[in-house]
Structure 1
Amino acid sequence: MVTHKIGVIMNGVTGRMGTNQHLIRSIVAIREQGGVELANGNTVIPDPILVGRREARLEELAASHGITRWTTNLEEALADDYNQIYFDSQTTVRRAEGIRKAVAAGKHIYCEKPTATNLEEAIKLSELATEAGLKNGVVQDKLYLPGLMKLKRLIDSGFFGEILSVRMEFGYWVFEGDWQEGQRPSWNYRKEDGGGIIVDMFPHWSYVIQHLFGTIRSVSCIGATHIPKRLDEKGETYKATADDAAYGTFELENGIIVQANSSWAVRVNRDDLLTVQVDGTEGSAVAGLRDCKVQHRVNTPKAVWNPDIPNPFKFQDDWLDVPENQVFDNAFKVQWEMFLKHVVADEPYDLDLMEGAKGIQLAEIALQSWEERRWVDVPKVKNKVNA
């Protein structure tokens, strides 16, 4: 059996998401388990080189996790033939430039979403990677959350009968920064820096809806900036110019109606930070990040409306948990393993930059719907190289 080491350029992993999900819980975890096993019994071990602008932070991060390679010089990392994969989790406004440089250097591309600040740029990046013959992928982690994987299992089994509607609730209260420090970076709330919950979350809803429920035909969305002023990392007040909440309705080509509320200005009174309720003719389910519960047609109680007496029902008790039946790994790590297998062993992989472009398209259409206060149809997105 052969062990393949593959150099991975990790640009922007000093940020919250890059450090926790991609470096520690994915790449470091893969290295600690001895790599990724291929179908032929060989093993792939990622060898990361950390890239960023803060030298002291890179050195500290590398030392903390047994990584020997780091640099503030991206061009130097790209020039090294040992590094075959370029990963980008920088802020959105910097991502396209990094990907373009990596494509020019002949590196396979894996990146966070959104892949660019606009649809035209996102499609161009996909075309450049395709023309160069490079393998490419975009993070679509929520497909591998245990709760949504259980939900997919129910869909594939025919549990719901005909699916009628989907209700998605996402969000939590992000502190303003005055009496308690905000738990998200301040750029998230500045439109000029690529912030906003629509551009952040609608690319997620794009792939979740598409892979679980069907193709989106049209969108109606209204956004809001509920908290107009916040305090940044230095304790200075700034004006929030980006949306911190969005309320969307999606009509699918198969007739399913999906409603998705996303907010950083909502206090949580539900089972999880994300819940997805699916209602069908034969049964219903509510999935969170890890758990999923169901209520079949034959177990549906008869609800009675009577506001004159205390509610006699405990509605939550009428649902059953979907069993685990398998071991669920970290969603980001699962996708990293898939992409490594794709690069080294050419295993199938379809979550590419073109899929990422679809997410940006949905965000742009949602913003257009909000601005024009109307339903907007979703046209098909095409990569000219593969059209």
Structure 2
Amino acid sequence: MAQHNIGIIMNGVTGRMGTNQHLIRSIVAIRNQGGVKLKNEDTIMPDPILVGRNQKKLQALANEHQINRWTTDLDEALDDSYNTIYFDAQTTVRRAESIKQAIAKGKHIYCEKPTATNLEESIELATLAKNAGVKNGVVQDKLFLPGLLKLKRLINAGFFGRMLSVRMEFGYWVFEGDWQEAQRPSWNYRKEDGGGIIVDMFAHWRYVIDHLFGHVKAVSCLGATHIPWRMDENGNKYQATADDAAYGTFELDNGVIVQANSSWAVRVNRDDLLTIQVDGTEGSAVAGLRNCKVQHRVNTPKPTWNPDIENPFDFQAQWQDVPDNQTFDNGFKVQWELFLKHVVTDEAFPWDLLEGAKGTQLSDLGLKSWEERRWIDVPEIII
């Protein structure tokens, strides 16, 4: 039984997602469990080096989690042949240039999405990685949420019959920062810094739709900046130049229609921050982040429209929960383990930089649809 130590450059891990999901709940958790076990009883042990611009934050993070390696010099980390994987969780505007550097040094690439601020650069990254022969992957975490895994189980079982439509509701109220501190960083609301909910969330909706319901054929999108002024981390008022809400409709190649509302200016009155309702000829389901409930054709009630009487139905009680039937690990950690296996043993990993480019493509076309107030076809990307 051998242990494969893998040096991983983790750039941008002092941010919220980088620290919590990728470092603590993924890499540190994998190290604490003794690595990733392989079929031949070997193990993969990730050995991270934390990279960022703030020396004090890096040192504190490394000390807290018993990590021996950190640096503010990305070039130094890239020049070290021990480090075979480059991971990027920086802000979107910084990501592409660093990935290009890492590809040029022959590193395998794993990164957050969006992979770049525009489609051309996202395609360039996928092409560079392909030509360099380096393995590459993009975080597509929502596919590994328990609620969506249960939804996938239903699809594979043919539960829905012929799928008809999908309704996705995502979002919550992000405080403006004046009387309560905002839950998201201020750059999210500045277009010039790579912000905007279309750029952020359409990258998610692309892989969720493509991998669960069918390939996106066309998009219609209306964006909005509902909250025009916010307060930044230093208490300074700034103008929000990016969209904080998006109302999208997607036509799929199999005829399914998807509606997706995304907003940081909505108060939640649903089961979860994300809910996905799928309706089909044989049954329907509503999935959240962790749970999923169903209503089969034979259990569907027969309501009638009569506003003159009290509603006689408890609609919520007429759905059944889909059981777990398995143990669900953290979705970010699960995908990290799959990518590490991909690097070491060449196991399949379909969520590559080309998939990331598809997400950027949908964001770009959503913005174009909003600007031109029309439906936009989504062409196939070939590299």
Question: Quick check: TM above 0.5?
Answer: yes
- CA positional deviation for 1:99: 0.2
- CA positional deviation for 1:312: 2.1
Cα distance in 1 between the residues matched to 2:52 and 2:183: 22
Identical counterparts, % of pairs: 76
Cα distance in 2 between the residues matched to 1:57 and 1:177: 23
Q: SS in structure 1 opposite 2:278? A: strand
Match status 1:65 vs 2:65: yes
Cα distance in 2 between the residues matched to 1:323 and 1:169: 23
The range that moved more, 32-41 or 227-236, is 32-41
Runs of 5+ in structure 2 lacking a partner?
A: none
Q: SS in structure 2 opposite 1:251? A: strand
Q: SS in structure 2 opposite 1:258? A: strand
Cα distance in 2 between the residues matched to 1:305 and 1:125: 54
Q: Aligned runs of 1:30-69 on 2, under 5 Å?
A: 30-69=30-69
Cα distance in 1 between the residues matched to 2:147 and 2:337: 20
Q: SS in structure 1 opposite 2:329? A: coil
Equivalent residue, structure 2, for 1:3: 3
Match status 1:343 vs 2:343: yes
Match status 1:16 vs 2:16: yes
Q: SS in structure 2 opposite 1:165? A: strand
Q: SS in structure 1 opposite 2:188? A: helix
Moved over 6 A (4+): none
- CA positional deviation for 1:282: 0.4
Equivalent residue, structure 2, for 1:91: 91
Equivalent residue, structure 2, for 1:29: 29
- CA positional deviation for 1:346: 0.7
Cα distance in 2 between the residues matched to 1:126 and 1:278: 32
Cα distance in 2 between the residues matched to 1:23 and 1:309: 55
Q: Aligned runs of 1:1-387 on 2, under 5 Å?
A: 1-383=1-383
Cα distance in 2 between the residues matched to 1:304 and 1:189: 44
- CA positional deviation for 1:43: 0.2
Cα offsets for 1:263-305 (capped at 9, x unmatched): 0000000000000000000000000000000000000011121
Q: SS in structure 1 opposite 2:75? A: helix
- CA positional deviation for 1:40: 1.6
Amino acid across the alignment from 2:46: P
Cα offsets for 1:287-343 (capped at 9, x unmatched): 000000000000001112121122221110000000000000000000000000000
- CA positional deviation for 1:117: 0.8
Cα distance in 2 between the residues matched to 1:103 and 1:161: 44
Q: SS in structure 2 opposite 1:249? A: strand
Amino acid across the alignment from 2:218: S
Q: SS in structure 2 opposite 1:259? A: strand
Cα distance in 2 between the residues matched to 1:2 and 1:28: 20
Q: SS in structure 2 opposite 1:114? A: coil
Cα distance in 2 between the residues matched to 1:382 and 1:186: 35
Cα distance in 2 between the residues matched to 1:309 and 1:63: 64
- CA positional deviation for 1:350: 1.1
Q: SS in structure 1 opposite 2:250? A: strand
Cα offsets for 1:16-64 (capped at 9, x unmatched): 0000000000000000000001122110010000000000000000011
Cα distance in 1 between the residues matched to 2:241 and 2:174: 16
Aligned pair count reads: 383
Q: SS in structure 2 opposite 1:97? A: helix
Q: SS in structure 2 opposite 1:310? A: coil
Cα distance in 2 between the residues matched to 1:257 and 1:131: 36
Cα offsets for 1:107-132 (capped at 9, x unmatched): 00000000011111111111111111
Cα distance in 1 between the residues matched to 2:126 and 2:297: 45
Amino acid across the alignment from 1:174: V
Q: SS in structure 2 opposite 1:355? A: helix
Amino acid across the alignment from 1:121: E
Cα distance in 1 between the residues matched to 2:150 and 2:264: 26
Cα distance in 2 between the residues matched to 1:63 and 1:373: 52
Cα distance in 2 between the residues matched to 1:238 and 1:303: 49
Cα offsets for 1:64-87 (capped at 9, x unmatched): 111010000000000111100000
Cα distance in 2 between the residues matched to 1:379 and 1:132: 25
Amino acid across the alignment from 2:20: N
- CA positional deviation for 1:96: 0.5
Cα distance in 2 between the residues matched to 1:187 and 1:367: 18
Cα distance in 2 between the residues matched to 1:379 and 1:302: 41
